[in-house]
Structure 1
């Protein structure tokens, strides 16, 4: 009993010591910050942070008011607490931000908060960090697509034509600071309850961090603003993003392994893995991808689990992209609702609720693989089909769809955007943006595809002939399709419920409405 009591007493004492050291509060006004929405408070805020750090850590308190700032640096054992009504707003003057230089990009600027090599650091409270993007973009003009990039589309130079105004954007950027909030090479990072608004670039970036928790935040960067991702997780481990509302022009949540010397100075260029990541109970909107996993300059991403997430009003729902070395594996999505639309303007994505692709994006690298990805209990509405598109050098492996409901909608933009596949980021021009028939689900170059309990409903007002089969799979091995409740597009009399070509080893529960061409090893479940 004495031994247990001693251990308990020691634990309580250590807890009280940690609380007492963390409970110190340093008010930025006491160090000269002025919340009048005019005065530049960068130096005062940094002095407050430095004083807190030198005294062993604690709370840096931001009271109600609008505090204009350039770049400040958080440090270990500091909680930046923004009171209800407190706003840290980015200065409109680039010279107020810390600059850095990269050979391939020249002079750039950090955003409002740049934190590196810190532990036990957090941002909490009911206040707001505002990137002030209205001064860094021309909101009167949209960024146009060039004729060369659209020449392989169905519409050619008329692709995503805007009849008037700026359509869906994206608006045109000016010189601007980069990531609004960066945590680089940090450990035990928390963001809770705050609002992150109007970022001029990526909003919240975790780079080479371990133990990250984001909970209950509001992140609205502006749906017309390009490059204004929501949360970017690059080469991080043990990350939880939960209970948050994220609305962004570019990807709402992006998860990649990354070669950081391309974006942030001070990195060795060593590639790192992103792993053990959970996204749950979030509402997402994006004019690019609701959730993106992988891309260029990447290493392995593994053990990612997404559940109870709504993706609405987005250009692409889930996007999984293999363009480089490393692999994307052990990824699951469950209990989700996805709604996607075609857009005007130069956004990546073309209305696919689910997109998985593995094509070369860089020369002189050995492509990795996409492997072991599952989708369970997903309800989709979209204006383009589900896409799984591998390549000869990177066949997509072990993909499972279970309990999927998909309503393929007619779109008012079909004439200017429909009937195309968008895989930009691909190296070869032919693999980037090109016209293609649109089945309900299209899979190409796959090894191990299981589709079970898939309900496909076509909008009865669809008339375009490029909408075709219910399910189409080609260049494949080991495909199993069971309990498919769907048909071919009502606008295409020559299409099939299921169209299979150039493959081996198929298991079906029916032969009705199934066409096989160059397929061996077909078996039917009885």
Structure 2
């Protein structure tokens, strides 16, 4: 009898715990699943109650629940059941009219232990929201000089914005159709993002995941399809940084770059580990590492990346956009086990929001016969020769200590001199562009097809294979103003013209196991142009 009572008591405890975990549904507070009623007041009331009671689950049951902005509070888990759709309001007035960025659909500031879980959908309805704005602009209800500026991101709401929060978890859900960046975790500590799907190509500037000056972040098992950078790390606070970041087992598609560090780099990035990425149909770079705003970019370890149909493989840039401040650092980079296929044609053509053209040159009457040539806004768009991967610093401020190991990159080729030609004795005329926005195409035409390395020290390339599909008249590699470059088992099987590698103003060059299909005393050309 005593044992039976103990079992019944234990069962009651389990049932009680189960009920506590399940939480209260938003419908118990008046939320209506008609896709039209603004349920913000009902949902917020439940969030506030649960947080005040010490935390717990707020449950969104199956159905279409529309809402204005919501504020997540400490201890609250917003749980979306299968079939649940939380729809952001499409009325721009619901997001306020204040200086700066519009309120996010779901926001939190200085909260602890917050989470969004489940298998439901959070839909920003970004396209419908912007159509509402344009309608009100045309009617005169909203002025173009108001906080909601026409076609600019400052007034558009993000889907999620968590600022200064700790112990943050977002798992399982689908985030889609944001009017701006999908999610930004800013100056947070302890962020777990796992198993989410991001489908956001409804409008411009739709970064998939932004991590800004946050620490101790784990991003795993995510699928991201974004009409801007897919996975983007930023540092906008000179006194802070992104540190202790782990990324694993993610698939990325982007109308900009796949994995990117340094759109802003005021503070910096340190101790980053990335493993097992699949990147596809991406307009700009598969991997972009940029330090241009005075911050540091150090201790970056990226391995096991497969990128297909992407505009550029690897872009590493140390610049000086903050011209009145110090030059940041970029050193201690290890990239390994990477295979990239860069096609001849535009890799993201046909997506709802394609990447913009990089070289718009008005005034040309005739176009070269190349399939990717077309007109934009009435101006002829002159195609450019494919841009190589690059490692580029500044005079006196080199990129330092970069190792590339087990790398295979295939380029479409088909470069043409009538599009652009930089003679070998003119390679120093490539512009420095120290203050330009960092992007793989920022230097315009480059004199090589495989790798362009300039202003660097301590470069190691181990088991690297570079090939093109169609002929390219340029050298495979141009190395300019570099101190210490080691090529070990580097294979370049497709070259036909000499030189294969041009070293200019470069010291400390060593090669072991170099495999080239051509021979001659000009296979590797050493020059001293300044």
Provide TM-score, normalisation by structure 2.
0.77
| 1:22 CA displacement | 6.1
Per the alignment, residue 7 of structure 2 pairs with none
Taking the aligned partners of 1:204 and 1:409, their CA distance within structure 2 comes to 34
CA contact (8 A) 1:339 1:353 kept: no
Per the alignment, residue 233 of structure 1 pairs with 211
CA contact (8 A) 2:224 2:251 kept: yes
Taking the aligned partners of 2:453 and 2:340, their CA distance within structure 1 comes to 17
Q: 1:458 aligns with which of 462, 468, 471?
A: 468
Q: 2:398 aligns with which of 374, 395, 398?
A: 395
Query: Is the aligned partner of 1:177 residue 2:190?
Result: no
Per the alignment, residue 105 of structure 1 pairs with none
| 1:418 CA displacement | 12
Give secondary structure in 1 for the equivalent of 2:87.
strand
Aligned ranges 1:185-334 → 2 under 5 Å: 185-222=164-201, 225-259=203-237, 271-296=239-264, 298-315=266-283, 316-334=285-303
Q: 1:353 aligns with which of 293, 300, 313?
A: 313
**Bigger mean CA deviation after superposition, 470-479 or 410-419:** 410-419
Query: Is the aligned partner of 1:127 residue 2:120?
Result: yes
Q: 1:27 aligns with which of 18, 25, 28?
A: 25
Give secondary structure in 2 for the equivalent of 1:304.
strand
CA deviations on 1:71-128 (whole Å, 9 max, x unpaired) are 11001111100011111111111121245424xxxxx311210111111111000101
| 1:227 CA displacement | 0.8
Per the alignment, residue 73 of structure 2 pairs with 75
| 1:363 CA displacement | 2.3
Determine which structure has the larger strand proportion and give its number. Answer: 1
Taking the aligned partners of 1:126 and 1:320, their CA distance within structure 2 comes to 33
| 1:373 CA displacement | 0.6
Taking the aligned partners of 2:194 and 2:274, their CA distance within structure 1 comes to 15
Give secondary structure in 1 for the equivalent of 2:267.
coil
Taking the aligned partners of 1:422 and 1:337, their CA distance within structure 2 comes to 30
CA deviations on 1:421-469 (whole Å, 9 max, x unpaired) are 998971699x945232332011111111000111112113x46x4xx11
User: Relative to structure 1, is the Cα distance of residues 472 and 243 closer, same or farther in structure 2, using a 3 angstrom cutoff?
Assistant: same
**Bigger mean CA deviation after superposition, 129-138 or 392-401:** 129-138
Aligned ranges 1:100-111 → 2 under 5 Å: 100-102=98-100, 108-111=101-104
| 1:387 CA displacement | 1.0
| 1:25 CA displacement | 1.3
Taking the aligned partners of 1:193 and 1:325, their CA distance within structure 2 comes to 37
Per the alignment, residue 339 of structure 2 pairs with 379
Taking the aligned partners of 2:45 and 2:443, their CA distance within structure 1 comes to 50
Taking the aligned partners of 1:421 and 1:137, their CA distance within structure 2 comes to 39
Taking the aligned partners of 1:422 and 1:200, their CA distance within structure 2 comes to 35
User: Relative to structure 1, is the Cα distance of residues 175 and 390 closer, same or farther in structure 2, using a 3 angstrom cutoff?
Assistant: closer
User: Relative to structure 1, is the Cα distance of residues 95 and 385 closer, same or farther in structure 2, using a 3 angstrom cutoff?
Assistant: same
Taking the aligned partners of 2:438 and 2:469, their CA distance within structure 1 comes to 34
| 1:137 CA displacement | 4.7
CA contact (8 A) 2:127 2:203 kept: no
Taking the aligned partners of 1:360 and 1:201, their CA distance within structure 2 comes to 27
Per the alignment, residue 479 of structure 1 pairs with 485
| 1:405 CA displacement | 0.8
Aligned ranges 1:6-25 → 2 under 5 Å: 23=21, 25=23
Aligned ranges 1:396-411 → 2 under 5 Å: 396-410=399-413
Give secondary structure in 1 for the equivalent of 2:51.
helix
Per the alignment, residue 89 of structure 1 pairs with 87
Q: Which ranges in structure 1 are unaligned for 5 or more consecutive residues? A: 1-11, 103-107, 142-170, 260-269, 342-350, 520-526
Aligned ranges 1:424-503 → 2 under 5 Å: 426=436, 432=442, 434-460=444-470, 462=471, 465=473, 468-487=474-493, 489-490=495-496, 493=497, 495-503=498-506
Taking the aligned partners of 1:440 and 1:236, their CA distance within structure 2 comes to 34
User: Relative to structure 1, is the Cα distance of residues 116 and 124 closer, same or farther in structure 2, using a 3 angstrom cutoff?
Assistant: same
User: Relative to structure 1, is the Cα distance of residues 183 and 472 closer, same or farther in structure 2, using a 3 angstrom cutoff?
Assistant: same
Give secondary structure in 2 for the equivalent of 1:51.
helix
| 1:172 CA displacement | 5.6
CA contact (8 A) 2:315 2:391 kept: yes
- Over the aligned positions, Cα root-mean-square deviation in angstroms equals 3.3
CA contact (8 A) 1:138 1:172 kept: no
User: Relative to structure 1, is the Cα distance of residues 234 and 38 closer, same or farther in structure 2, using a 3 angstrom cutoff?
Assistant: same
Per the alignment, residue 111 of structure 2 pairs with 118
Taking the aligned partners of 1:101 and 1:441, their CA distance within structure 2 comes to 44
CA contact (8 A) 2:294 2:320 kept: no
Give secondary structure in 2 for the equivalent of 1:434.
coil
User: Relative to structure 1, is the Cα distance of residues 68 and 421 closer, same or farther in structure 2, using a 3 angstrom cutoff?
Assistant: farther
| 1:353 CA displacement | 1.1
CA contact (8 A) 1:137 1:173 kept: no
Taking the aligned partners of 1:94 and 1:138, their CA distance within structure 2 comes to 10
Give secondary structure in 2 for the equivalent of 1:46.
helix
User: Relative to structure 1, is the Cα distance of residues 353 and 386 closer, same or farther in structure 2, using a 3 angstrom cutoff?
Assistant: same
CA contact (8 A) 1:285 1:312 kept: yes
